[in-house]
Structure 1
Amino acid sequence: MTKRIIRKVAVLGSGVMGSRIACHFAGIGLQVLLLDIVPEDAKESANKPARNKLVNDALQAAIKSNPSPLYYPDAAKRITTGNFDDNLKDISTCDWVIEVVVERLDIKQALYEKVEQYRKPGTLITSNTSGIPIHLLSKGRSDDFKKHFCGTHFFNPPRYLRLLEIIPTKDTDPEVVSFLMHYGDLFLGKTTVLAKDTPAFIANRIGVYGIMAIFGLIEKMGLTIDEVDALTGPIIGRPKSATFRTADVVGIDTLVKVAKGVYESCPTDEARETFQIPTWLDKVVENKWLGDKTGQGFFAKKKGEKGEREIYTLDLQTFEYKPQQKPKFASVETAKPVDDLNQRLKMLMAGQDKAGEFYRHFHFGLFSYVSHRIPEISDEVYRIDDAMMAGFGWEIGAFETWDVLGVASTVTKMKEAGYSVAPWVEEMLAGGHQSFYRIENGKKLSYDPQSKSYKHIPGSNEFIILSNYKDKLVWNNNSCKVYDIGEEVLGIQWSTKMNTMGSDVLAGVTKAIELAEKNFKGLVIANEGANFSAGANVGMIFMFAVEQDWDELDMAVRMFQNTMMRCRYSSIPVVVAPHGLALGGACEISLHSDKVCAAAETYTGLVELGVGLIPGGGGTKEFVVRASDEMHHDEPETITLKNRFLTIATAKVATSAFEAFNLGIYRKGLDEISVNQSRRITEAKKSVLELFDSGYVQPIQRKDIKVLGQSALGALYAGIHGMNRANYATDHDALVARKLAYVMCGGDLSEPTLVSEQYLLDLEREAFLSLCGEKKTLERIQSVLKRGKPIRN
């Protein structure tokens, strides 16, 4: 196989998609050439900025957008801009050319003709088209072009949506397909899915079917937009944007275009009529209510009676916008408190109200549709599930959902309700196979309709999913499970609301370390779900504080501190693999680990100041330790401490794992990033073994931490006072900040002094407990518990 290295990428087209693809490649460290057309009014101009105005404006708009398409701001420096007239020749220096221009076959083919003049042989050339058959794009091109050409369909926004569909033609070299599948996974952090050159490929084919099927149920069942979005969001493991909000974000015209494309291009689709555009949807498009891009769609923001901006929902009967409603269904209210998605789905499907009827119709139709798409759009069931989870944000795919509900029993119910299943599903059940997936030795196997057997999912050996090790359970309590994940390494995960850390979790981590010290080489701490952990259980803190149970609260804080110190000072390596939110206490466990193997999309920070507290699980102490180690003669010692103080005092959260290095949360040269979130636990396990095999020695608690006392305390107090006087900080903010400064300076010491970690932990705990007695702190915590965010008081 030819060794292929990607050093520089050309992105042709700087629209919303092209500019963000360029940012993602720059974010992983590549040089990027971003090109677009010369504006009409600059065609005759020799002025370079004028000729590049379109591409430069597009790139700046992308960089300023929220959420950011870049892992860190400086990554934008790797992007060079230009235009097709002056700079297309520069693609000769690129290893991969990605076309992302307007969705018109003639325009794309004309551009490819020019590209072929400058592209060096062997260079990858791919299109991000979502609606044009891939084989038509390369028509008339050279053999070398066709050999290295295929579709690479990113989903928007490319940094955050993990799906990358690879769509080869009959002329595409298999080596190119293999390379792109691997590169997308390892370097771009994508779930790479091999798709066939069929209309809408995989994710959009299934996703748009799901939306259109729901549109049909609206008319059939008399549902409102608010009712549908309440039924099709997180309650069933789907994104908060649910159905209609998703349509507004994507663009209602885009949705209609894909649906029409499937209807026109798939005459043999048994559910073809589902893609017919309802009259009311045509009217929405005619009114140019296309969603976010036009300022209104199925939802609009209007001024309410009190003058505040409120969300209004379109009434499909009157075509007027009305205040958004929060509908309630008996079966949904019963299922809401259930954290386990699998159990919740079973309860919802069994509901005897309108919601239960909706869920049965929706899932039966979905199961029927995906079963009939094999082998049309994919030969494998796992590819369809992977595409929907990575592209549409589903927690579990359609086939996996079917497994949860019971394949055989669901097929019976589907038939009774008038829904068909593909013959291969019947054959699977007749052959004694009762599920689409099974787990063997910690790895997931998928049923293969062609061989009528189960096969390992390619590449899955690179991914460790802790819940796949149920048969290797070593220990558990109500919240935690500890598994033997092979090669004498333990893995612990917990399952609580938002994966918060209470007494059960702390006891579990301590027990896992104890077990690892006896019989294993080390421990990996990781979680599944959307987030690693939202931090400490503030509900427990609030309860103890309101009841003034100070002894219990003191014990709880000591337990948190002791658990963090066990992570730091165990006799075996402890490696943490965070992803998503890793806030407060979850950040503290990373600070105290031997190593962090974080997913690139990890949002971490010490956020306790927002609820009127200071980090009380060793986070404040650890920032003082690191500030002490960073002090040197080239700059005043107070500067280093001040920077650390401000990171906590302003509750800064890293917007990526890359930024966490700049905030001093992750350690340069030690902690690592996995761009592909699915690889983080595997990398953490490797790190445990590397640390153990290199002769891991239990660290000794520090007693040499330099604190600055009154000299630094005065400076910090002065800064806090200034922020308060300028109204950047409330009186309570200032009170909390002074408590933080006191701890970080080592107390009211007359001169710089060397102290121990325990000394700082005691100061930290004392300050934390005192703040729990403050009325305004309790008001902030109560606001978080009730509304999900603290009030400013």
Structure 2
Amino acid sequence: MNRIIKKVAVLGSGVMGSRIACHFAGVGIQVILLDMIPKEAAESTKPAERNKLVNDALTAAIKSNPSPVYHKDVVKKITTGNFDDNMKDIASCDWIIEVVVERLDIKKLIYDKVEQFRKQGTLVTSNTSGIPIHLMAEGRSDDFKKHFCGTHFFNPPRYLRLLEIIPTPHTDQDVIDFLMHYGDLILGKTTVLCKDTPAFIANRIGVYGIMAIFGLVDKLGLTIDEVDSLTGPVIGRPKSATFRTADVVGIDTLVKVAKGVHDNCPDDEAKESFVIPAWLNKMVENNWLGDKTGQGFFSKRKGEKGEKEIYTLDLKTFEYKPRAKSKFASLEAAKPVDDLQQRLKMLVGSPDKAGEFYRHFHYGLFAYISHRIPEISDELYRVDDAMMAGFGWEIGAFESWDVLGVEKTVKGMKDAGYQPAKWVEEMLAAGNKSFFKIENGRKLSYDPASKTYKAIPGGESFIIMSNFQDKIVWKNASCKLYDLGDDVLGLQWATKMGSIGGDVLSGIQTAIEKAEKSAKGLVIGNEGPNFSAGANVGMIFMLAIEQEYDELDMAIRLFQNTMMRARYSAIPVVVAPHGLALGGACELSLHADKVCPAAETYTGLVELGVGLIPGGGGTKEFVLRASDEMHEDEPETITLKNRFLTIATAKVATSAAEGFNIGVYRKGLDEVVVNQGRRIFEAKKSVIEIYDSGYTAPVQRKDVKVLGRSALGALYAGINGMWRANYATDHDSLVAKKLAYVMCGGDLSEPTLVTEQYLLDLEREAFLSLCGEKKTLERIQSVLKSGKPVRN
């Protein structure tokens, strides 16, 4: 069946329901969002009063931070209503998602209404996280049962990429296949097929991990601050680590899931790990449930000077105390190591208390996940997918086991009293030493049932460059250039925050040169948490502080020349950014033949924040685009002013969709990829399409219209107005005037056509002069020390 989703009904407008509605609207789907009529409006005939509950919920969702929508206009795709007046409207919907309170009796009442109005063949799914899916299907019609299953979104749906699909024995295979594909391709999710077992996959493993850590707190005498320092980014987990995550999720929710597993999984060999510690029960009794009640494991309080400080709960005294910095020798030694796999090996092997914690935690986790196969999933790769997409783990549990060495770790586990599942020992005995392996760029996963390795389904659409280690064409200290097949090369670099320095610029130039000789084109992307936070400001600061202006001039020229090399190469260059793509990374996108950004890409020219202007061709490119956008229907200065303000305010798009609004991405050319994992595949496809359509190298522009004094005076007047109103400091004003001078083409007496090189020279001169300013150097130093520029 060729199923098309044009309209979706979301039943329930709470935190999850309203945000699921927002996510569907964000990918272009019409949504009907329904909820109850408030009791006080039961007799009212006014729609505003009868729909107050749902309208207030949607308004709160839109105002929440982080935003649940890619851009504000998507709200227009959501129509609100109530269960009494508008349930009939679900007849026009292709998918009905129930997100009401977690009570089976209430859900069944909703389904009674759904059965009255839904048309045959319409999908019906529940977002439940705690009720068995098969119980909800009981008593329903055959058509309902065939088209019903669980679709468990994780909160917030826009940002957490996991979507668990939980069929019942009655669910049609076509429905399962459709949801797996639609969730991946359209909703941008990592879709994971789950069995109908308590807590499904991600919460079963994730909550076990948290509860096991709670057990180690008592066993090893660790504090909350110590545990969170050990279980955050240093081991590839989110900044919220363990206890902060519990506060965000809600301690009552955590306790509910843990009790559910303990009570409903009698054969779980680790069920005692889900017993609630006394101190956790006491927190629930005190209503210290985390963020929702204002305090949990952490509490925001005013310090002696009135500033907000975060206090941590002492589990022994039950008093809140100022956060204490943890000191573990192994942790300090591992932090400078950029490679996560190397860090994990160091930490688990360390002889101190931190190492003891890591060994106990990993041994327990590895034993637990091995025993969950095939209980919660027949395929072990689904466990890793669920934890990475649902809990933000940078590396999956089975993959971590591979990194630490399966055979070696099993021995350590047994010595420490942890017993892995029998199939793991059988795998090792048969000579299979890892859970995953790479063949021809594809990732294969061990299958315990057949005792063979099988390719992960759909892997051909998820190109991971590091899987092409046997296809490295060239490399230097920071970059690797891969042969991605089909005559396409792929470049990625591994630097701190993806920063762009000399090695990376050299890598881009070399990659283009090699692609011109032997390939159809080049894809530029990477697999770190972020694409790139921009140019290496540490190098700029060092050269500026030592007054090495000739070196600095050469460095800026290299950056500009590399961007222009990308623009005017003989082959198409496609950039596939994700996460942060700031400053120099934004300039690279501006000069690409095409950009395939992930939906969650945060891009912008942010140099004004550190007292500089975009110096790698970004200023030039905005002037060029403003020139092309000028038309007779509006004053030319308006177009230039809009471009100027985008740079002058260091505006950053909060999604790829906003990247179009601020003029970084081009409508009709650049293409957003909702599923981040598909970026490289789509970029590679674009390279081939552009090349095969008859690509010819573009020619440098000599017809860029600059406005000279006529626009310069207007921009200067605006800058002075901001300065007089105290919205801009003296230095802000100085930097903005330098930017205006470049964007107007200098102090020209009349509008003139200039070359790109003319603008690049002006840009470079302004950048260099600002590097000599004391206040600019203070701002850069502040960023290097604290991550934030000082306002001076």
TM-score of Structure 1 vs Structure 2, range by shorter chain? over 0.9
- In 2, Cα distance between the equivalents of 1:642 and 1:690? 36
Aligned partner of 2:292: which letter? K
Displacement after TM superposition at 1:689 (Å): 0.4
Q: Note the alpha carbon deviations across 1:27-67, whole angstroms, 9 max, x for none.
A: 00010000000000000110110000000000000000011
What pairs with 1:417-436 in structure 2 (closer than 5 Å)? 417-436=416-435
Q: Note the alpha carbon deviations across 1:752-789, whole angstroms, 9 max, x for none.
A: 00000000000000000111111111111111111011
Displacement after TM superposition at 1:141 (Å): 0.5
Displacement after TM superposition at 1:544 (Å): 0.4
Displacement after TM superposition at 1:288 (Å): 0.5
What pairs with 1:362-381 in structure 2 (closer than 5 Å)? 362-381=361-380
Q: Which residue of 2 aligns with 1:527?
A: 526
- In 1, Cα distance between the equivalents of 2:690 and 2:397? 40
Q: Which residue of 1 aligns with 2:542?
A: 543
- SS of the residue corresponding to residue 765 of structure 1 reads helix
Report how many aligned residue pairs link the two structures.
792
Q: Note the alpha carbon deviations across 1:696-745, whole angstroms, 9 max, x for none.
A: 00110001000000000000000000011111111111111000000000
Q: Note the alpha carbon deviations across 1:312-354, whole angstroms, 9 max, x for none.
A: 0000011111001111100010011000000000000111111
Q: Note the alpha carbon deviations across 1:375-399, whole angstroms, 9 max, x for none.
A: 0000011000000000000001000
Aligned partner of 1:194: which letter? L
Unaligned runs of 5+ in 2: none
Q: Note the alpha carbon deviations across 1:139-195, whole angstroms, 9 max, x for none.
A: 100000000000000000000000000000000001000000000000000000000
What pairs with 1:192-231 in structure 2 (closer than 5 Å)? 192-231=191-230
Q: Which residue of 2 aligns with 1:336?
A: 335
Whether 1:494 aligns to 2:493 is yes
Q: Which residue of 2 aligns with 1:589?
A: 588
Displacement after TM superposition at 1:305 (Å): 1.2
- In 2, Cα distance between the equivalents of 1:452 and 1:199? 27
Whether 1:82 aligns to 2:117 is no
Displacement after TM superposition at 1:307 (Å): 1.1
Q: Note the alpha carbon deviations across 1:359-385, whole angstroms, 9 max, x for none.
A: 000000000000000000000110000
Q: Which residue of 1 aligns with 2:437?
A: 438
- In 2, Cα distance between the equivalents of 1:694 and 1:240? 45
Q: Which residue of 1 aligns with 2:382?
A: 383
- SS of the residue corresponding to residue 736 of structure 2 reads helix
- SS of the residue corresponding to residue 599 of structure 1 reads coil
- SS of the residue corresponding to residue 439 of structure 1 reads strand
What pairs with 1:742-761 in structure 2 (closer than 5 Å)? 742-761=741-760
Q: Which residue of 2 aligns with 1:235?
A: 234
- In 1, Cα distance between the equivalents of 2:716 and 2:392? 46
Displacement after TM superposition at 1:792 (Å): 1.0
- In 1, Cα distance between the equivalents of 2:256 and 2:776? 52
Displacement after TM superposition at 1:306 (Å): 1.4
- SS of the residue corresponding to residue 311 of structure 1 reads strand
- SS of the residue corresponding to residue 297 of structure 1 reads coil
Aligned partner of 1:674: which letter? V
- SS of the residue corresponding to residue 386 of structure 1 reads helix
- SS of the residue corresponding to residue 673 of structure 1 reads coil
Aligned partner of 2:399: which letter? E
- SS of the residue corresponding to residue 718 of structure 2 reads helix
- In 2, Cα distance between the equivalents of 1:330 and 1:119? 62
- TM-score, normalised by the number of residues in structure 2: 1.00
Q: Note the alpha carbon deviations across 1:505-538, whole angstroms, 9 max, x for none.
A: 0000000000000111100000111100000000
Q: Which residue of 2 aligns with 1:787?
A: 786
- SS of the residue corresponding to residue 313 of structure 1 reads strand
- In 2, Cα distance between the equivalents of 1:488 and 1:149? 44
What pairs with 1:300-339 in structure 2 (closer than 5 Å)? 300-339=299-338
What pairs with 1:646-685 in structure 2 (closer than 5 Å)? 646-685=645-684
Q: Which residue of 2 aligns with 1:641?
A: 640
- In 2, Cα distance between the equivalents of 1:723 and 1:141? 65
Aligned partner of 2:778: which letter? E
Q: Which residue of 1 aligns with 2:630?
A: 631
Q: Note the alpha carbon deviations across 1:424-464, whole angstroms, 9 max, x for none.
A: 00010011100000000101000000000000101111110
- In 1, Cα distance between the equivalents of 2:528 and 2:381? 19
- In 2, Cα distance between the equivalents of 1:790 and 1:380? 47
- SS of the residue corresponding to residue 445 of structure 1 reads strand
Q: Note the alpha carbon deviations across 1:587-615, whole angstroms, 9 max, x for none.
A: 00000000001100000000000011000
Q: Which residue of 2 aligns with 1:778?
A: 777
- In 2, Cα distance between the equivalents of 1:32 and 1:776? 51
- In 1, Cα distance between the equivalents of 2:150 and 2:58? 23
Q: Which residue of 1 aligns with 2:283?
A: 284
- SS of the residue corresponding to residue 672 of structure 1 reads coil
Aligned partner of 2:455: which letter? H
- In 2, Cα distance between the equivalents of 1:501 and 1:528? 15
- In 2, Cα distance between the equivalents of 1:45 and 1:694? 62
Whether 1:264 aligns to 2:263 is yes
Aligned partner of 1:229: which letter? D
- SS of the residue corresponding to residue 582 of structure 1 reads strand
Whether 1:604 aligns to 2:603 is yes
- In 1, Cα distance between the equivalents of 2:753 and 2:503? 35
- SS of the residue corresponding to residue 690 of structure 1 reads helix
Displacement after TM superposition at 1:138 (Å): 1.1
- SS of the residue corresponding to residue 191 of structure 2 reads strand
- TM-score, normalised by the number of residues in structure 1: 1.00
Q: Which residue of 1 aligns with 2:34?
A: 35
Q: Which residue of 2 aligns with 1:620?
A: 619
Whether 1:769 aligns to 2:771 is no
Q: Note the alpha carbon deviations across 1:389-421, whole angstroms, 9 max, x for none.
A: 000000010000000000000001110111000
- SS of the residue corresponding to residue 322 of structure 1 reads strand
Q: Which residue of 1 aligns with 2:14?
A: 15
Q: Note the alpha carbon deviations across 1:628-684, whole angstroms, 9 max, x for none.
A: 000000000000000000000001101110111111100000000110001111010
- In 2, Cα distance between the equivalents of 1:105 and 1:778? 62
Whether 1:273 aligns to 2:272 is yes
Q: Which residue of 2 aligns with 1:245?
A: 244
- In 2, Cα distance between the equivalents of 1:171 and 1:733? 65
- SS of the residue corresponding to residue 482 of structure 1 reads strand
- In 2, Cα distance between the equivalents of 1:419 and 1:489? 47
What pairs with 1:718-729 in structure 2 (closer than 5 Å)? 718-729=717-728
- In 2, Cα distance between the equivalents of 1:420 and 1:545? 58
What pairs with 1:124-203 in structure 2 (closer than 5 Å)? 124-203=123-202
- SS of the residue corresponding to residue 9 of structure 2 reads strand
Aligned partner of 1:180: which letter? L
Aligned partner of 1:13: which letter? G
Whether 1:349 aligns to 2:316 is no
Unaligned runs of 5+ in 1: none
Aligned partner of 2:71: which letter? Y
Q: Which residue of 2 aligns with 1:464?
A: 463
Displacement after TM superposition at 1:616 (Å): 0.3
- In 2, Cα distance between the equivalents of 1:101 and 1:276? 28
Aligned partner of 1:714: which letter? G
- In 1, Cα distance between the equivalents of 2:305 and 2:348? 40
- In 2, Cα distance between the equivalents of 1:727 and 1:5? 54
Aligned partner of 1:263: which letter? H
Report % sequence identity: 80
Q: CA RMSD in A?
A: 0.4
Q: Which residue of 2 aligns with 1:572?
A: 571
- In 1, Cα distance between the equivalents of 2:291 and 2:610? 33
